[in-house]
Chains A and B, each alone.
Chain A
Amino acid sequence: MGSAHRVGGKVITFGENVNTDVIIPGRYLVSIDPAELAEHAFEPLGAETQARLRASDVVVAGRNFGCGSAREQAATCLLGAGIKAVVAASFSRVFFRNAINTGLVAVESPAAAEAAADGGEMWVDYDAGTVETSGQTFPFSPYPQVLREIMADGGLIPHLMASFAGGNQ
């Protein structure tokens, strides 16, 4: 039995500077549905990559993943495709925020990204602050408190609604 904070599975790897137009092309931003967005995730990279994405659980990438647009759908479409976590050497600022705010686990770990094998397995425990892959365990700094609370509720909007229910607003 894994903890609720432990997510992972099959890995799909990408290179550096993967931008938001590649993750979800601008022409599909008229949609609001994660499943529909997922159909077009990584479309510029071709049907084979898209099929592999939908069969994967963890996106692993190099530096500056999600650079470019502030479009939140770049995180939503990955969730729609069944991705549970993104582990990268580094993230663009807006993508990282959008990941947290949509409840997509995003972890910066250059060592884990380097060690990951395409098609292999990776497990992230964002409470313990560990990434396990290729028989190794890589620690990372746990999220600050405010981010942990947002993640625990499944994203920013559910977090706000939970806080309203708790009488905080």
Chain B
Amino acid sequence: MTAKTFAQKAIERASGVADLVPGRIVDAFPDLYMSHTASWRCIRTLEKMGVERLYDVDRVAMVMDHLSPAMNAKTAADHALCREFAKKMGVRNFFDVNSGIAHIVLMEHGLVRPGRFIIGTDSHSTIYGALGAFGTGVGFSEITAAWVTGKLWVKVPESVRIVVDGDLAPGVYAKDVMLKLIGDLGADGLTYESAEFSGSYVEGMSVSERMTFCNLAMEMGAKNAFVAPDDTTLAYLGEAGVPRDELDILLPDEGAAYRATVRLDGPALAPQIAVPHTVDNVVGVGEVAGTKLDQVFIGSCANAKYDDLVIAADVLAGHRVAPGLRLIVTPASAKIMAQASDSGVLTKLIQAGAMITNPGCGACAGNGGAMADGEVTLSTANRNFQGRMGSYDSKIFLSSPATAAASAIRGVITDPREIVSTAVVA
């Protein structure tokens, strides 16, 4: 038997076709079809098709995350359509506007499991690799088609190994590693490819940090991303209520063929910043330190999980947000928000001057936290495209939650290591 990558194994499992090689196109049967705000378009398309029977309603998951809560009658009507559809069709995995960001919500509810093949109407569906699943983004027509036929065409990707060894220095985080990789490899460095992360740093990462990695792999064009499931994964899945005997863990074989291996030395890394208007326009924080900010946004599926909020709160402890600067914190899910409330993290953030908004995509999807002409935001999200947050004449920089929090204190882009000495950085 030829040694296989994770992607080969996952697509073989989902397609039932053996011995797949990169480049081959097959029909795969995903285990889960996630649709977020695009759900209403899927429903309208289904109506147009005149189809009333779904292939497997239990593989449908809908999360109202991008426009939550509704901002006008139109978006409210779209939500209502989704609610009615879920009820009529018996979609058990329907998560309403109070739930949070689709990716995080699905993982918290045990719907993402090792070896599963998951498609979603969101490019950052690569994040499911954090739990050893094959996750990839598709358009709403493809989700609609999967609702009906249960399948979609998939090209077997080549794979690239990304090895990160060694601990990171204080003040440096998983987000910095990914910004550095995106900067080095480019926004299309992994297009159509499967990113397999490994190395001593990766093995030591929390599931949240693995989410940050796999989420941001998309910004290099990756088709999917993967971290090998281990005890950390099993502990997370246990909390999510997934019985251990239901797991079907797929691991790459020793000696599998990779297009390339990329290595990054963890201890040598400094905090990184993506400069407008592309994610791969990455520099060390020192190069843009002092840039005046109007707003800091701590949110998105990349960096608004519980540990991200703790990091930000610890940096902000004993400080106040700079006069005139707006700090918006949007927890990624209701569960995370409740945890941050119970532990006092929300209070710390509020006392420092942060404005807390409801869980969901928030400002990253352009809802709330918009910028006026000429304004500048430092964001923990995954994109800094022109006009994504309000005015086309505004700017978005990207960083870790620690850099974002440190910068909120000074009102200018700030190296978090300058604040670390007065804070406990997790």
User: In whole angstroms, what is the CA distance A92 to B247 when docked?
Assistant: 32
CB neighbours (8 Å) of B122 from chain A are 69-70
State in angstroms the CA–CA spacing of A147 and B140 once bound together. Answer: 17
Per-position binary interface string of chain B over residues 108-145, scored 1 when its CB falls under 8 Å from any chain A CB and 0 otherwise: 00000000000011110100000000000111111011
Nearest neighbor of B361 in chain A, beta-carbon distance: A26
Q: Which of A19, A20, A64, A157 is in CB contact (< 8 Å) with B141?
A: A157
**In the assembly, what is the distance between CA of A75 and CA of B365, in Å?**
19
B74 interfacial by beta-carbon distance below 8 Å:
yes
* Contact in complex: B366, A101 (CB < 8 Å): no
Q: Which of A27-35, A53-61, A77-85, A121-129 contacts B (4 or more CB under 8 A)?
A: A27-35
Residues of A with C-beta under 8 A to B121? 70
Across the interface, A67 reaches (CB within 8 A) one of B44, B192, B221, namely B221
**Stretch from B12-20, B195-203, B352-360, B382-390 that touches the partner:** B382-390
Does A6 reach chain B (CB closer than 8 Å)? no
Residue A98 CB within 8 A of the other chain: yes
Give Cα distance in the complex from A132 to B140, angstroms.
32
Chain A residues near B25 (CB, 8 Å)?
Answer: 144, 146
Q: Which residues of A contact B221 (CB under 8 A)?
A: 64, 67, 92-93
The 8 A CB mask of A13-50 against B (1 = contact, 0 = none) is 00001011110011101101000000000011000000
State A99–B365 Cα separation when bound (angstroms).
22
Determine the distance from Cα of A94 to Cα of B148 in the docked complex, in whole angstroms.
21
B347 within 8 A of A: no
Min Cβ gap B11→A in Å is 15
Q: Chain B contacts of A26 at CB under 8 A? A: 365-366, 388
Minimum CB–CB distance from B23 to chain A (whole Å) comes to 10
Decide yes or no whether B261 CB sits under 8 A from chain A: no
Contacts A17-B188, A44-B392 given; does A94 touch B138 at CB 8 Å: yes
Q: Does B98 contact A (CB under 8 A)?
A: no
Given A93-B191, A146-B25, verify A21-B141 contact (CB < 8 Å): no
Contacting pair B387 A94 (CB below 8 A): no
List of B residues within 8 angstroms of A155 by Cβ:
141
The answer to whether A102 touches B386, judged by C-beta atoms less than 8 angstroms apart, is no
Q: A67-B221, A94-B137, A160-B145 are in contact. Are A21 and B383 (CB under 8 A)?
A: yes
Q: Is the CB of A27 within 8 A of B366?
A: yes
Q: How far is the CB of A78 from chain B (nearest CB, A)?
A: 14
A136 within 8 A of B: no
The reply on A169 being an interface residue by CB < 8 A is: yes
Give per-residue flags for A124-161: 1 if the beta carbon is below 8 A from chain B beta carbons, else 0.
00000000000000000000101100000001110011
Q: List 24 A-B contacts (CB under 8 A).
A: A17-B280, A20-B385, A21-B383, A21-B388, A32-B44, A44-B392, A64-B187, A64-B188, A67-B187, A67-B188, A68-B123, A68-B385, A70-B122, A72-B139, A90-B191, A92-B188, A92-B191, A93-B191, A94-B137, A97-B142, A102-B139, A146-B25, A155-B141, A164-B49
Interchain residue pairs A-B with the least CB separation, the first 5:
A72-B139, A21-B385, A64-B188, A70-B137, A98-B139
- Seen from chain A, the residues whose Cβ lies within 8 Å of a Cβ on chain B are 17, 19-22, 25-27, 29-30, 32, 43-44, 63-64, 67-72, 75, 90-94, 97-98, 101-102, 144, 146-147, 155-157, 160-161, 164, 169
Kindly list 14 other residue pairs between chains A and B, CB separation below 8 angstroms, not including A93-B191, A93-B223: A22-B387, A44-B392, A64-B188, A70-B120, A70-B121, A70-B139, A71-B38, A90-B188, A93-B221, A101-B139, A101-B141, A160-B149, A161-B49, A169-B148
B contact residues vs A (CB 8 Å cutoff): 25, 37-38, 41, 44-45, 48-49, 51, 67, 74-75, 78, 120-123, 125, 137-142, 144-145, 148-149, 153, 187-188, 191-192, 221, 223, 278, 280, 365-366, 383, 385-388, 392
